[in-house]
Structure 1
Amino acid sequence: MSTSTTPRRSLLRHWLSGWSHAAFLVLNLLTGLVAVVLVVLIIVGAVGIIAAGSGLLLLVPALWVTWLFGRAELGRIEAFTGRRITPRRASGEPRWLTVLGFGEEHRRAAAYTGLHALWGLLTGALVATLLSGVMAVLALPLYVGRLPGEGTRIFGVVPVASGGSGQALLWVLALVALLVTPFLARLVSQVDVQLARTLLGQDAEVEIAHLSERVETLTTSRTETIDSVEAERRRIERDLHDGPQQRLVAIAMDLGMARARLAHDPAGAQELLDKAHQASKEAIVEMRHVARGITPPILADRGLDAAVSALAARSAVPVTVSVSGVGRLDPTTEAIAYYCVSELLTNVAKHSGAASARIRLGRNEALTPPALVIEVEDDGVGGADPRRGTGLVGLRQRVNSVDGTIAVDSPRGGPTRVVIHLPARPVPTQQDRYLPSPAQPAQPAPAQTATQSSPTQTSPTQSSPTQNED
C-alpha cells in the first residue's frame, strides 16, 4: 500500500509545485513590458549617439538598468523554478568599458532583455489568457442561468451555449486543461531558464573547469595537510623522546639513588638531589622548545595581535609589528596565522642574514570572502626558494588547508617579502562552540597541551616559581 501511495504523493507535489512555474510565466507578461521599455531606451540612446552624440547620457544608464534587470531575473528564476544560475563573472575587459556599461556582462544582459521582451510577452499573454479562460469555463455552472438565450463566446472565440451537452464537454476540457497546465508550465519555463543560463550565467565549460581545478586543489591540499600533521606529530614525538624524556629518566634514576643513599650517605644524596633539580630545570627549558609548535595560551586568551608581538619580542632579529583592524578570528585561522609568522621569523633568523624585519597584519574586506593579510618583510640577502625546503613548503601546506594563498617575492640580494591571505572567518559563538560535533572529542587535548605549555611564556609571573626553587 505504501508503494502505491508514494508515486501518488510525488505526482501531487509535482503538480502543486508546477503552479509556481505557471505563476512565473504569468509574471513574464509584466517583466516583458519592462524589457520592452529598456530595449526602447537602448535603441533611442544608440540612435542619439549616432545622430547628435548626446545619446550616451541615456544609453549608459539604460545599460546599467538592463544589467540590474538581468540580475533580478536570475533571482526570479531561482525563486519560482528553484534553478540557481551562477552569474557570469567579469571577463577581464578594461575597467572603463564596465564603468560605461559596455562590458560583456552588460552586453549579454541587453541581449537577454531583447529576447525576453518577445518571449516574455508571448508566454505571459498566452498563459494568462489560458488560465483566465479555463477559470471562466470552470465557473460556468455559477452563472450559466444568466446567459442570454443564444449563449455567448469566451474571448469572442469559444462559443458557450446556455444548455446542452456542449457545455458539459467544454467544462470537462477546461478541467483537463487545468490539470495539465502545471506540467506544461514546467516545460515552457525551461526555455526561460536555458535562455538566462546561456546569456546571464557562467559558461558551463568554464564553470566545470573551475570546479575541476577546485576539486584537484582540495584533494592536493587535503593530502598535504594530512602529511603535514603526521610530520608534526613525528617531530613532537622525536623531540620529546630525545630531550625531555631522557632527562626525566635520568631524574628518576638520580632520585632513586638519592633515596637509597639518604640513610647512610646524606652528602651523596644531597648531591644527587641537586643534580636532579638542575636536570628538571633543563627539562623545563627543553619542553618550552618543544611546545613552540603548539598553540600558546596567549593566542587563545589575547588574540593574534598579542601572540605575534610576543613572537617578535623573542626573535633574534629586531622586528617591528603593525596590526590594523584584525580583531578576533576563529581559532583555526589564528593558529595558522601564528604558525606562519613563527616559521617566517625563524627563517629570517636562520637564513636571511637580515638586520631587521617588519610584520604587518590587517583585514581586507574588499575581497570575497574577507581575508586576513599577513605580510612579513626583511632586509636580508633574499633568494628564498620554496623548493629548497626552507620551511616555505610547510607554510604553503598550512595556508592551502584553509583555502588561503601565499606569495613569495625574494630576489637575489633581497629584500624578501612574503604575503599570506587567509579567509577571515568570524569567531564562533558560544552556542557554536558547545554544539556536539564529531570533531569535539579531540578538542580537549589541545587545551590540555596549552595549559601544560604555559611555562613557555616569558612572563615574570610564570617564571618566578622556577627561579624560587634555586
Structure 2
Amino acid sequence: MTAPALPSEGAGTTGPPPPLPGRVPDGTFANPPVRPRLLRRWAQGWWVAVGLVLGLGTALAALVIVSLTVAGLFSTPVMGAGLVLVALGLWAAWLLGRAHRWMLTVFSGIDVGPVPVSGAPTWRRVLGLDEPRLRALGWAALHGLWGVLAGLLVLGLLVQGVALAALPFLSTVAPEDGVRVLWLLRVSTSTGYAVGGLGGLVMLLAVPWVARGLGSVDVALARWLLGDDPQRQLREMSHRVETLAASRSETIDSVEAERRRIERDLHDGPQQRLVAIAMNLGLARSTLDSDPDGARALIDEAHAAAKEAIVEMRQVARGIVPPILTDRGLDAAVSALAARSPVPVSVSIHLPDPAVRRPDPTVEAIAYFCVSEALTNVAKHSGARRATVDLGLRDGPAGEQLSVVVGDDGRGGAALGRGTGLTGLRQRVASVDGELHVDSPPGAGTTLSITLPMRPGRTR
C-alpha cells in the first residue's frame, strides 16, 4: 500500500518532488555543504595562525625600523647624517612591507592589491620621501604594535592549549599536590585533569578562528597602507567614468555627423550625376535611329558625367578606410598620404613589421585618419613649406602606446575648439582612450601629438 500523493500548491496535478535545498535537479550540490566548508575554513585558519606567529619577527623588525627612523629624524637638525638614517628607514620599511605582502599571500591566501606606483620626482624616490615609502613607514609603526599583540596572543593560546590537552596524560607523573593551571588554579584530581584536558582541546579548536579574526586586521592594515591608495583608485575610477561618458556622447555625435555628411554629399553630388547620366542615355537610345550624331553627343556627355561621378564618389569616400591600410598596414598607408600631399612631407616610422605584428584595426584606422586630417589642415590652413610625420611606439602608464606626431613650419595659432577638424580628431582619439595635444604658438608652426593604446591586433 502506497501513501497518497500530496497535491501541489495551487494545482491538483502531481509531479516530481522539488529538489532539496542546495541541490540541482541532477542530484549534485549547487554549493558545497556547510560542514565541509567550515572544516576547510578551520583548517586554513591554522595557516593563518602560523603566519601570525612568524609575523612576530616582522613586527619586531618593524619596531626597530620605526625607532631608527624616528631617531634619525630627530637627529637631522643636529647632524646631517640623520637624513641618511631616515632614508634607510623608509626604504627598509618598504622592503619589509613587500616581504609581509608575500607572507600574507602564502599563509592567508590573500592578495592585498597591486603595489602602488610612485609618481614623485626621482630625488624624492631615492630619498624614500614619496607616498608609497611614507605609507610603508606608517604600516611598520602599526604592524609593529599589532603584530606583536596578535602573534603573542596566538602563541599563548597554542602553548596553553597544548599544555592543558596534555594534562590527562601527565596525571600519573604529576606531584601529589597537583599542578598549577593558567597560573591561577591547582589541579590534583582525576576529574580536574579531565576538565583541564577538555579545556585544552577547546582552546586548540578555537585557535584557527581566533587567528582568522586577528589576521583580518593585519590584512586590513596591509591593504590600507601597502596596497594602492583606495581614495586614489576611487578618484581615478570616477574620472574614468566621466571620461567614458563624455567620449561615448562625442563618439555618437561624430558618427551621426559623418553619416549626415556622406548622405548630403551623395545626394548633392553623385546622385545628381547619375540621374543626369540616366536621362542622357535614355535620350540617346530614343534618338539613336533618327539622330545618330545627337545620340553620340549624348553618350559622350554621359561618359564625361560618369567620370565626374567617379571623382565625386572618391571625395565622398574620404574618411573610409582605404584598401592599402587594410592590406599593407599603417606604414604604407601613411607613406601614400605623404606622397599625395601638396606640401613636402618627411615620414619617420618606427613600427614592427606589419606581417608580424599590427595594432588593433580600429587603432590603425584612427591613426590613419588623424594623419590624413592633419596633413589636409597643413595644406589648407597652415601656409607651411614642409611637414613631418613621426610614428612609433612608446611606453605609457597602461602599457605600450602608438605615438603619432605631425608637425609643420606654418603660421601656427591652431587650437582645439576653434574648428570642427581638431574637434573631430579629439573625438576619434578619445573613443579608444587616447590623448591628443596641440602645440601651436603663433608664427612657430603646429605640432599635433597623439597617443593611442597599442591594443593587440592581428599577428601573422
Cα deviation code 1:166-197 (max 9, x no counterpart): 55545554555455545443432232233224
CA contact (8 A) 2:56 2:152 kept: no
**2: CA distance, partners of 1:385 / 1:194:** 48
Distance 1:11 1:225 in 2: 54
**CA distance in 2: counterparts of 1:58 and 1:243, whole angstroms:** 78
Give the unaligned 5+ runs of structure 1. Answer: 431-470
- 85 and 262 in structure 1: CA distance in 2 versus 1, 3 angstrom threshold: same
Question: Aligned residue pairs: how many?
Answer: 426
C-alpha contact 1:42 1:59 (8 A) present in aligned 2:
no
Asked if the contact 2:429/2:435 (under 8 Å) is kept, the reply is yes
Q: Tell me how far apart the structure 1 counterparts of residues 79 and 66 of structure 2 sit (CA, whole Å).
A: 15
- CA–CA distance in structure 1, aligned partners of residues 288 and 198 of structure 2: 111
Letter of the 1:355 partner, please give it.
R
Matched, 1:348 2:378: yes
By how many angstroms is 1:165 displaced?
4.6
**Structure 1 length-normalised TM:** 0.76
Q: Distance in 2 between matches of 1:262 and 1:131?
A: 111
Any gaps of 5 or more consecutive residues in structure 2? 1-19, 24-28
Shift of 1:9: 3.6
> Aligned to 2:118, which of 90, 101, 106?
90
Contact 1:133/1:154 (<8 A) preserved: no
The percentage of aligned residue pairs carrying the same residue is 49
Q: How many Å apart are 1:264 and its aligned residue?
A: 4.9
Could you tell me whether the CA contact under 8 Å between 1:32 and 1:118 is conserved in 2?
Answer: no
Using the alignment, how far apart are the partners of 2:105 and 2:371 within structure 1? 44
Other-structure match for 1:234? 260
8 A Cα contact 2:53 2:154, kept in partner: no
Residue 329, structure 1, aligned to residue 359, structure 2? yes
1:199 to 225, 229, 237: 225
Report 1:370-381 matches (<5 A). 370-381=400-411
> RMSD across aligned C-alpha pairs, in angstroms?
3.9
Give the counterpart letter for 2:254 in structure 1: S
Is contact 2:410-2:445 (8 Å) kept? yes
1:40-88 superposed Cα distances (whole Å, 9 cap, x missing partner): 4675686698798777777655543431332343455466364644544
Report what 1:288 is aligned to.
314
State whether structure 2 residue 2 is matched by structure 1 residue 2: no
Partners of 1:90 and 1:155 lie apart in 2 by: 53
1:388 counterpart SS class: coil
Asked if the contact 1:77/1:83 (under 8 Å) is kept, the reply is yes
Instruction: State the structure with more CA Rg.
Output: 2
Instruction: Pick one of 234, 237, 260 that aligns with 1:211.
Output: 237
SS at match of 1:370: strand
Structure 1 residue 422 corresponds to structure 2 residue 452: yes
What TM-score, normalized to structure 2? 0.77
* Counterpart residue number, 1:467: none
Q: What are the superposed Cα offsets for residues 280-308 of structure 1, whole Å, 9 maximum, x if unpaired? A: 32222222222221111222222212111
Task: Indicate the structure with greater helix content.
Answer: 1
CA shift, 1:380, in A, is 1.0
Tell me, in whole angstroms, the C-alpha distance in 1 between the residues paired with 2:341 and 2:205: 77
Please give the secondary structure, in 1, of the residue aligned with 2:407.
strand
- Equivalents in 1 of 2:157, 2:269: separation in Å? 85
Shift of the alpha carbon at 1:392? 0.9
Q: Is the 8 A contact 1:70 1:109 kept in 2?
A: yes
The aligned residue for residue 3 of structure 2 is none
Does the 8 Å contact 1:154/1:160 carry over to 2? yes
Q: Is the 8 A contact 1:148 1:162 kept in 2?
A: no
Residue correspondence of structure 1 range 47-196 to structure 2 within 5 A = 60=87, 63-74=90-101, 76-77=103-104, 80=108, 82=110, 84-85=112-113, 87-90=115-118, 92=120, 94-131=121-158, 134=161, 148-150=172-174, 164-166=190-192, 169-170=195-196, 172-174=198-200, 176-177=202-203, 180-196=206-222
Aligned to 1:457: none
User: Which has the higher mean CA deviation after the structures are superposed, 395-404 or 94-103?
Assistant: 94-103
Moved more, 398-407 or 41-50: 41-50
Distance in 2 (alpha carbons) for counterparts of 1:180 and 1:39 = 29
Matched position secondary structure for 2:457: coil
Assess if the C-alpha contact under 8 Å between 2:49 and 2:212 holds in 1: no
2:438 is aligned with 1:408 = yes
Aligned partner of 1:274 in structure 2 is 300
Find the residue that maps to 1:387 and give its secondary structure: coil
Could you tell me how far 1:2 is from its partner in structure 2?
0.7
Cα distance in 2, alignment partners of residues 109 and 228 from structure 1: 47
